[in-house]
Amino acid sequence: MTHAHGTGHETGEASERERALLLRVAEDWVEAIVSDDAARIGAFMAEEWTIIGATGPATREQFLALVASGDLTHSAMRLAGEARVRVYGDTAVVTGRITNTAHYRGQRYDADEWTTDVFVRREGRWLCALTHLTPVATPANVQETSGEEAT
């Protein structure tokens, strides 16, 4: 596929219209997760959706089963700051800093993470195919991961 020069697609730059649409999809996706409604969440996911977190990958089925059982709930989730949106044909990458409060089997977890969602356009809709989470570095965990001793 060839794009005309200057369209921005060579670098993934999204048009204002594409950017606004994908930000709306990403916001609706966050609202669905906080709803704790497995069917609503699943409507935003491609069948092959995978989430990558600190403990490794989990499938769409695993994630939705945790939500449906009530073992995993989210009471808050919000985008902190500006998201980065790139579009490559029928694939889009949305990266932003997300803060959230989740409960897993009754235990509360507060997270501050860089989240990258890969969306694919299918039948005119954007569906999330991959979510990758990276904890935001704090001064303490930067020292731990760099091998420096805390002083």
Q: Tell me how far apart the alpha carbons of residues 71 and 65 are, in angstroms, rounded to a whole number.
A: 9
Does 150 have pLDDT greater than 80? no
CA distance 99 to 81: 10
- Is residue 9, in this structure, part of any structural domain at all? no
Is 146 within the bounds of a domain?
A: no
Q: Is residue 54 domain-resident?
A: yes
CATH number at residue 73: 3.10.450.50
In a domain, 150, yes or no: no
Position 10 in a domain: no
In a domain, 147, yes or no: no
Determine the pLDDT at residue 119. Answer: 98
Domain span holding position 101: 16-140
Q: Could you tell me if residue 109 is inside a domain? A: yes
Confidence of residue 12 (pLDDT cuts 50, 70, 90): confident
Distances (CA, A) of 48 to 33, 39, 57, 118: 17, 16, 12, 12
The number of domains in the chain is: 1
pTM attached to this predicted model:
0.82
Q: Note the pLDDT tens digit of each residue in 91-126.
A: 999 999 999 999 999 999 999 999 999 999 999 999
